[in-house]
Amino acid sequence: MSRIAVVPGSFDPVTLGHLDVIERAAGLFDELHVVVVHNPGKTALLPIAQRVSLIQESIREAGLPASILVTSWSVGLLVDYCTDVGAIALVKGIRSQIDVAYETPMAIVNRDLAGVETVFLLPDPAHAHVSSSLVRQVAALGGDVAPYVTPAVARYLQSPRD
């Protein structure tokens, strides 16, 4: 039976730190789903469909396995998605103790709700300071986001929009 894992997140936008975690997770599981989830605690910059296509393009540009499935989930609990597709684990990247504090209660609740375990992966320390919110801020103020994202995301953020 194939072991399926889900990498969930806002991905607003996807960063090189996210891609590092996605690549590491792809090496650990038979099947990987990257799932864009609306986080009601955050004000989003990019529409969800745009986030999905930027992840797909970034996976291609970064040479990650084409078998990685990218989708979104907006109906009900994230663990409902996991149950629907038969995923046994959620995968989260941990940059610092702040991430541990934020992720631990969600991991325990997700296990209580549906028996889905959460696997924490440490990204390359080179990406420890990278976050979507910093990328959004640098882009909004006209800075160069190229060190933090794939060319596809940099092109999108630096192209004129309404």
Which range touches ligand PNS (CB under 6 A), out of 49-57, 103-111, 122-130, 153-161?
A: 103-111
Which range touches ligand PNS (CB under 6 A), out of 46-54, 106-114, 122-130, 138-146?
A: 106-114
Of 44, 77, 85, 114, the one binding ligand PNS (CB under 6 A) is: 77
Tell me the number of residues near ligand PNS by CB under 6 A: 11
The phi and psi torsions of 116 (rounded to 5 degrees) equal -90, 125
**Nearest 5°: CA angle at 23, between 117 and 11?**
75
**Nearest 5°: CA angle at 17, between 87 and 97?**
85
Which range touches ligand PNS (CB under 6 A), out of 26-34, 60-68, 105-113, 137-145?
A: 105-113
- Characterise 11 by phi-psi region: left (phi > 0), alpha (psi -120 to 50), beta (else): left
**Using the rule CB under 6 A, is 15 a contact of ligand PNS?**
no
**From CA 151, how far away is CA 138, in angstroms rounded?**
15
Residues near ligand PNS (CB under 6 A): 8-10, 37, 39, 42, 77-78, 106, 109-110
